[in-house]
Chains A and B, each alone.
Chain A
């Protein structure tokens, strides 16, 4: 059913873009985080359309599930009294415009220059084994380094949130 999958793609794309905009534009940081869940679930739906079920499940488990932790930290670390104005805009419009434009150009160039080749036939049914082989075989070292990097980032985030060791 090629027409049906196109329909679902546009539906998911609309949901993803609308909820991603809501993440940025809403003033309440908890609402933003909840729309982020919707964005991630939409992306997981796209992966399912591409027959990448494993990736979709990872997307749910790692991203959508972890937003709960994000909200907890948002609640714990927001110092403002009023939660309805916890996710405000600042005044650096120019810098923001430059950065987003640069990002947009890079992404457009990258997708435009890529030679998209459609693989004929059915996608492989089970890709878990292939992913495991790649992670623990050929890409073992980058995989482990990424894990260490994440650990460092996590420890750093905790240190920043706690404000480091007091001198007195």
Chain B
């Protein structure tokens, strides 16, 4: 069980063994890309179902239950419906920006998966700047949302994208700072080493405050309630996505769920010990932990009311940012004291 995926990877590598080196590099790269895309699509499609079921149980409803056992085929029907919709481009739209925005938002959503350790020896690219790469690539998502809102030439869409810039750019800062504590403890930005360092103690125990800050800031980064002002239905229809239909709309939602999975996967990697766990295969542990994180995200979404924009920003700058800075200071002092006690020197 443990070696299913690494076995497949080794088999494909064996097939390519005779080829010139650039074909090997390209082939392995394509294999990782296909693997990551399959992971994203499978998860995203069933996350939509899971979200509807979870929200239904929290509101004492049944949720989708007509198509297939327990409504399990509902996502398939939804996908077919979205594929069949007319692709509308508003006459006043900035046409090219409007058309490519949903494609562009998907690029960083897929790229961040490159550094996620899915299991023992199951990391697509083990970059030595791992976590920083994740943050840098994820930060470009804002531009795609802004492009969608701007291109639609709709006042609600523009308002939504303005909100998204204010929100995502501000919450990026405590998000980054909350990860610094973990990086200081592990002494590395490489995700494989951060996971390896958590073999005995998960960093959620050593960095509880950082985990809390990360969780709040990540909720804001993926635009989920209580921070879903970007697409607050009651105020600005659907924000940047107002004018989108069919597959383009679906791409925005797909990337939103892809981002939900990737921030959960990063939380598991940095705070919950990555793929470490007894008995079960490492990739199954990773998946279980990711789904626990996703469930908490959904739990929060369906139990908290939406926050107001000024509260949102002042909470970020006056609470989260000072708290995350204090966390870095305490962590640094703590590391030095620990070194003094165990090694007898700084």
Q: Taking beta carbons and an 8 Å cutoff, which residues of A are in contact with B? A: 1, 4, 30-31, 34, 37, 53-54, 57-58, 60-61, 64-65, 67-69, 71-72, 75, 125-126, 128
Contact = CB atoms under 8 A, between A and B. Distances in A.
Interface stretch (B77-85, B126-134, B211-219): B126-134
B101 to A, nearest CB: 10
Interface in B73-94: 94
Give the interface size class of chain B.
20 to 34
Contacts of A53: 127-129, 133
A60 B139 contact: yes
B279 interface: no
Contact of A60 (B21, B137, B165, B169): B137
A51 to B, nearest CB: 11
A54 B137 CA distance: 12
B136 A58 contact: yes
B22 A68 contact: no
Contacts of B139: 60-61, 64-65
B143 A64 contact: yes
Given A4-B22, A65-B142, A72-B146, 11 more contacts: A1-B22, A31-B97, A34-B147, A37-B140, A37-B143, A53-B127, A53-B133, A61-B136, A68-B143, A71-B150, A75-B158
Interface of B: 21-22, 94, 97, 127-129, 132-133, 135-137, 139-140, 142-143, 146-147, 150, 158, 162, 165, 169, 189
Nearest to A59: B136
Contacts of B142: 65, 68
A30 B94 contact: yes
A128 B129 contact: yes
Contacts of B135: 57, 61
Contacts, number: 65
B272 to A, nearest CB: 24
30 contacts: A30-B97, A34-B143, A53-B129, A54-B129, A54-B132, A57-B129, A57-B133, A57-B135, A57-B137, A60-B136, A61-B132, A61-B135, A61-B136, A64-B143, A65-B136, A65-B139, A65-B140, A65-B143, A65-B169, A68-B142, A68-B143, A68-B146, A68-B165, A68-B169, A69-B165, A71-B143, A72-B146, A75-B150, A128-B128, A128-B132
B128 A71 contact: no
Contacts of A58: 136
Nearest to B145: A68
A34 B149 CA distance: 14
Contacts of A64: 139-140, 143
